[in-house]
Amino acid sequence: MSSLVIERTLIKDLSPLPDGTVTVAGWVDTVRDQKKVQFVVLRDESGAVQLVRPRTAADVLAANGEVDEIADAISGLSQGSFVTVTGELKHDERVKLGGIEVRIETLVVDGAADPETPIAADSGIDKRMDWRFLDLRVPRNALIFRVQTTFEHAMRSYWVERDYIEVHTPKIMASASESNAELFKVDYFEGSAYLAQSPQFFKQMAQAAGFGKIFEIAPVFRADPSFTSRHATEYTSVDAEISYVDSHEDVMAMQEELLVAAFTAVVEKHGAEIKELFDVDVTVPTTPFPRIPLAEAKRIVAERGYVVPRADADMDPEGERQIAAYVAEEFGHEFVFLTDYDASIRPFYHMRHDDDPQLTKSYDLIYNGTEITTGAQREHRVDVLEAQIREKGMKPEELGGYLDFFRYGAPSHGGFGMGLARVLMLMLHQPNLREVTYLFRGPTRLTP
C-alpha cells in the first residue's frame, strides 16, 4: 500500500491554501526558544513564514520516559541551517508575518549550518563577495536577479516578436574586435587566441549573411585594469544589430522601444517590491529620449561650471553626470542620447556624416548619469572601410577576414552594445557593479 506523499509548498503559495497539513523547506532565519513555545522564522526562495512548536511539559515527558526530540532539535538550530518541516497550516491575522503560521509536527535538519556565520549585515562588500552564496540569501540581493531575469526576458520577447534572430558568437577569437590594449591573450593549442571584447564583427557578419535583425546577450572580456564602480573584466553585454537603416536614428529608435518594453515589465512585476526593499521608484521612460550632439553637450556642461579636460575626448564621468542633471532639470528624463561623436574617438567601422566626415553617425546612451550603451550606423562600403582603417593607423590586410564580409554585398546596418549590469546598477540605485553581478570579475577578483 502506497503512503501519502506531501509535496513541498513554496512559502509564497501558503496563504491561499486552506488550513491543513503542508510541508515547507528552507533556511532558518531566526529562532525564539521560549519556555512554553518555540518559534522559527523559515525562509525559502519565495518568502518567509513563522513556524511554531508548543513545548510538551517536562513533567509529562518525564512521567512517560520520553524526550521532546523536536524541541531539542529546534533549540540546536543555527541560523542558515536547511530544514524540512511538515505541520498544520493555520491562518491567524494576529501573526505579523503574513497572517499565517505552520505548527510543527515533524522537523528534519537536512543541512546544519556552522554556528558562526562569516558575514553579517554590516560586512564590507569585499567580505560579502568572498561569501557571495550567503550574501545572495538576503531577499534584497536575490531580488536583483529576479529583476534581471524579467528585464532580459522582456528584451528577448521584444526581439523575438519582431522576427529577430538570436545568435551566439564565439568568445575565443584570432584577433582583436576592438582595441589591442584590452585583450586577454590565452594559449590555444600550438598558438595563441584572445577572449572576445565584443561580438561586433560577428554581428556585422550576420547582416552580410542576410539575417536582417539579430541580438545576443552574452559575456565579453576587457583586460582593463580599472577599479572604478562601473568596470569589470568580464560582463554581460546586450547587443543588437539591424539591416536597412538610414542612420543611427533608426538604431536609437529601436533601443528606445526595447528599453520601454523592458522597464515596463520590471515595473509591473517587481515595482512594489523594489520600492519596499530598495526605496526606489522605477519609472518607465517616455519616448523619444532627449538627443544632444556631443559638442553641444560639452558646451552645456561647461556652462554648468565643469569643463571636460580634453576637448578632443569623449565625455568623462563627471561630464556624464552633469549632462544627466541638465536633462533631468530640462526634460524630466533619466535617459539622454549623446550623438555625433568625432571620428577621432570612434572605431574605424562607424559611418561618417556625408556633410561632415569628421563626425560619426554614432551615439552613447546615458542613464542616470552613466553611459550604458554605444551605438552607431556601421560603414558597409569596403573601400571606405579600408580608408578608415588606414586613417586609424591600422593595416587592412590585418583585418582581411572582417573586410571579406563586405566584398560580396552588404546592406546598410547599425546596432548597439549595452552593459546589462550597468543598467541594473543604475535602475536600483546601487553604488557599483559588484552589487548587481552574480559573481563579479575584476583585476583582483577571480573567486568564488
pLDDT of residue 10: 97
| CA–CA distance, 128 with 115 (Å, rounded to integer) | 18
pLDDT of residue 321: 97
Q: What is the pTM of this model?
A: 0.94
Is residue 420 part of an annotated ligand binding site? Answer: yes
| CA–CA distance, 402 with 386 (Å, rounded to integer) | 11
Give, as one character, the DSSP assignment of residue 391: H
Whether residue 396 contacts residue 379, with contact meaning beta carbons closer than 8 Å, is answered with no
Cell of 379: 560603414
Is residue 117 part of an annotated ligand binding site? Answer: no
Is residue 222 part of an annotated ligand binding site? Answer: yes
Pairing of strands 335-339, 362-367: antiparallel
Q: For residue 327, which amino acid is it?
A: V
429 three-class SS: coil
The DSSP result for 27-70, as a single string, is: EEEEEEE-SSEEEEEEEETTEEEEEEEEPPPHHHHHHHT---HH
Return the bridge partners of 238, or none: 217, 418
Closest by CA position to 244, among listed 4, 415, 388: 415
- Cell 560586512 found at: 123
The DSSP result for 357-372, as a single string, is: TTBBSEEEEEETTEEE
pLDDT of residue 2: 44
Cell of 293: 550632439
Check whether the bond before 54 is cis (ω within 30° of 0): no
Is residue 419 part of an annotated ligand binding site? Answer: yes
Q: What crossing angle do the helices spanning 248-278 and 139-161 adopt, rounded to 10°?
A: 150
Segments in the chain below pLDDT 50 = 1-3
Domain 11-111 has CATH 2.40.50.140: yes
Closest by CA position to 238, among listed 215, 261, 206: 215
Closest by CA position to 437, among listed 128, 122, 199, 117: 128
| CA–CA distance, 286 with 429 (Å, rounded to integer) | 20
Is residue 371 part of an annotated ligand binding site? Answer: yes
| CA–CA distance, 159 with 417 (Å, rounded to integer) | 15
pLDDT of residue 175: 78
Closest by CA position to 175, among listed 412, 398, 383: 398
Domain boundaries, the chain: 11-111, 129-436
CA-angle at 178, arms to 175 and 179, nearest 5°: 85
The torsion of the CA quartet 172, 176, 177, 181, rounded to 10 degrees, works out to: 120
Is residue 378 part of an annotated ligand binding site? Answer: yes
234 to 98, 117, 237, 244, 443: CA distances (angstroms): 40, 29, 9, 32, 10
Q: How many CA atoms lie within 13 Å of 13's alpha carbon, on the beta-carbon side?
A: 10
| CA–CA distance, 69 with 92 (Å, rounded to integer) | 27
Return the bridge partners of 8, or none: 23
| CA–CA distance, 365 with 223 (Å, rounded to integer) | 23
pLDDT of residue 3: 47
Measured from the Cβ of residue 325, the count of other Cβ atoms closer than 10 Å reads 13
* Max CA separation in the chain (angstroms): 99
Q: Which CATH class is domain 129-436?
A: alpha beta
Is residue 421 part of an annotated ligand binding site? Answer: yes
159 three-class SS: helix
Closest by CA position to 90, among listed 52, 55, 36: 52
Burial status of residue 204 (CB atoms within 10 A of its CB: 0-12, 13-18, 19 or more): buried
Return the bridge partners of 271, or none: none
The torsion of the CA quartet 306, 311, 316, 319, rounded to 10 degrees, works out to: 30
310 three-class SS: coil
Cell of 204: 556585422
Measured from the Cβ of residue 385, the count of other Cβ atoms closer than 10 Å reads 21
